[in-house]
Every structure is written in C-alpha cells, then in structure tokens.
Amino acid sequence: MKSALITGITGQDGSFLAEFLLEKGYDVHGTIRRSSVDFRERIAHLEGHSRFHLHYADLGDSMSLIQVIGKIRPDEIYNLAAQSHVQVSFDAPEFTADVDATGVLRILEAVRQCGLAKTCRIYQASTSELYGKVEQVPQSEKTPFHPYSPYAVAKLYGYWIIKEYREAYNMFCCSGILFNHESERRGETFVTRKITLAAARIKQGKQDKLYLGNLSSLRDWGYAKDYVECMWLILQNEKPEDFVIATGEQHSVREFCQLAFHNVGIELEFKGEGANEKGIDKATGKVLVEVSSDFYRPTDVVNLLGDPSKAKRELGWNPTKTSFEQLVKIMVDADMAKVAAERESERVKTNLAAYLEKGIVK
C-alpha cells in the first residue's frame, strides 16, 4: 500500500485529493493546524476511515514537519498548504513568504534529513499567478514569469527551489502550475464562491446586494475535482517535470456573475463603467451588483489563460471534463441548497422561540 502525505488537507484541493487517493487505495495522511474553532468541515466525512490519518504540523515549523515526515516516511508528498489568498498577501506579506516560499524549502529539507530524498516524490502546488503581469497569452510551461503580488513572489521561490532540489539532489519533485480551479468547497472569499453564494442568498431573500472589485478580470476557471487527478498523474510520470494545468478557456468575472445569477433565474444586465458599473436585474430594474474599491488590489492579474497541451499529451489528462457552464451550475446548486438549509434551521429556531414564549413548549 502506498502512503501519501497531504499538507493543506483541510483546504479545497486537499479534501478532494484525500478522497481521490483513498479511492486509489493509498494510506492517506494529512497535516492540520490547531485552531480555536473547528475548520475541518471539508474532511469531516473522511474522519474515522481506517486509511485516513491526521497530524499536527505547520509549514512555518520545521520541527513539526521533520517529525511527521520521519514518522510516516511517505512515498508521496503533496504540498498544498499555503496562505492562498492573493489579496490577503498584500496585508500579510511576511507570513505569506514564510509559508508559501520558505515552507516549501522546509518540506524539501525535512525529506532530505529523514533520508527519503531517493524514495519520496513531491508535488508542489504552483500557480498561474506566477505569470502575473502576463507577457504572453495563452501561458504555457515556456512563458516567462512576472509575479505581481506578494503571494506570487513567494510562490515563485517555491517553484524555483523545487527545480533546484530536483537538479542538485536528483529528487523527484515537480510543480503543477495550476490555473484557477473552483468548486462547491471553494473558500467563500474567492470571487467565484462569493458570487455563487450571493446569487443563492439574493434569490432566497437573505442578501440585498453583492459588492465586487475588478469585473473585467479574466480567468481560466476549471473544476477542482478534475484538477487533483492531475496532481497525482504528475507524480506517476516517468520523469519529474512541471506541468501547466488549465482548461484553455477564458471568462471574465462579469460573465461568471451573469451565468451564476442566470442559474438562480435572475437575468443580469451590466451598465456603466469602472467603479460606476452596476449589475441590474432585467426583470425588476433592481441593482444587485455594485463595484467597491475595497476589493481592488494594489496590483491585479487580469489576463490568465492556460495552454494545457503538455498535460493532455504527456499525462493523457482531459482538461474539459467539466465545462465552465457545468462548474457554475454545480456551485450554484450547492449554494442554493446550503442557503435553503440555513433558512430552514432558522425557521425551526424561530418557531421554537415563539413556542417557548407562548408556553406551548415547556
């Protein structure tokens, strides 16, 4: 039985990858961090599985990494842990550098110090943010990097240190340069999830308006569940190499918004420009989307489009298994159900409070 260690197992990708590897028969280990509240909802359904194990470790703490890696001696490590929010990296640049840059080095050194350099394969979660202020469209493995945020600069170090250890120590370590991938498990402050959740709340009368930043930003959005398969394929490849993982299709934030609202039965029309642009409900004339400069970034990456030819050709991966339209529908349907469940639980609580007040329930 192969064993895998996933850092960042509580995240969107970590949870899908854990499911994928358990299905493949792996013994799956994941690192978690102590938190005053329980943020393990994405993996709660896996706890109790006989081949699923959790360990405390932090990418900022070499000792914890050496301890966990030395104990498990994994065949494969998937380093997904990161401060992954680009806008937050402007507010917490030092923390982002420590985790997203030096954290990668800590993993590599822990593997070496535990004597696993020859046996353990390492996947590093690299990113299309490396292309940043893009110098070419579409972007492939050969496109020059131009990182454009503290997050991207930190991730660029991660990319290069992986390449360095591959060449210096002959280690099997690779980067997947993944373009944006989303899902019903996406963090609620990333733009896609923020939109699908707002569409569901507005439709069900729980929110009046959605405030967004740059509506013209272009992204190549795929489905996270499809992308974790690629992480595994990269480590099963004969040679350690880096791959671009993307769909090869591009949409704007505005288009994502229109399609999400369409899926809840609201047709949005955008009028105005820049900070004055508004998304208006065609049926009622009500303004449902407005621009807020709070969501502008000091520097923004606005034109990401990946060329997944190498992954298609060499890994046999299908980049369009889930279409853009299907992805948006999956996310909206999940959020409609979530909001409906929250409303139902509020209704039960309100009824109970009323019954208690009237003395019907004692």
**80 is an interface residue for ligand NAP by CB under 6 A:** yes
Report the residue from 3, 79, 124, 128 that binds ligand GDD according to the rule CB under 6 A. 128
- DSSP for 126-193, please give it: EEGGGT-S-SSSSB-TTSPP---SHHHHHHHHHHHHHHHHHHHH---EEEEEEPPEE-TTS-TTSHHH
Query: Residue 257 CB, nearest distance to ligand NAP (Å)?
Result: 18
Spatial separation of the C-alpha atoms in residues 319 and 170, rounded to whole Å: 30
- Per the annotation, the verdict on 151 as an active-site residue is yes
Nearer to ligand NAP, 14 or 279 (CB): 14
Antiparallel, parallel or unpaired: β 268-271 and 278-281? antiparallel
Binding status of residue 138 toward ligand NAP by CB under 6 A: no
Nearer to ligand NAP, 125 or 200 (CB): 125
Q: Which of 76, 129, 182, 184 is the catalytic position?
A: 129
Among residues 170, 189, 318, 351, which is the contact residue for ligand GDD, using CB under 6 A? 189
**Residues from 163 through 182 that contact ligand NAP (CB under 6 A):** 178, 180-181
For residue 26, indicate whether it is catalytic. Answer: no
Per CB under 6 A, the list member of 11, 74, 240, 319 interacting with ligand NAP is 11
C-alpha distance from residue 210 to each of 183, 203, 299, 335, 339 (Å):
19, 12, 22, 15, 16
Q: Does 217 bind ligand NAP (CB under 6 A)?
A: no
Given 3, 4, 5, 10, the residue binding ligand NAP (CB under 6 A): 10
266-272 contacts, C-beta under 8 A, 24 or more apart: 266/199, 266/202, 266/203, 270/215
> How many Cα atoms occupy the beta-carbon half-sphere of 6 within 13 Å?
27
Q: Does position 86 bind ligand GDD by CB under 6 A?
A: yes
Closer Cβ to ligand NAP, 3 or 127, answer by number: 127
- The answer to whether residue 189 is catalytic is no
Which of these is catalytic: 151, 159, 165, 223? 151
DSSP strand pairing (222-223 vs 181-182): parallel
**Residues designated as active site:** 127, 129, 151
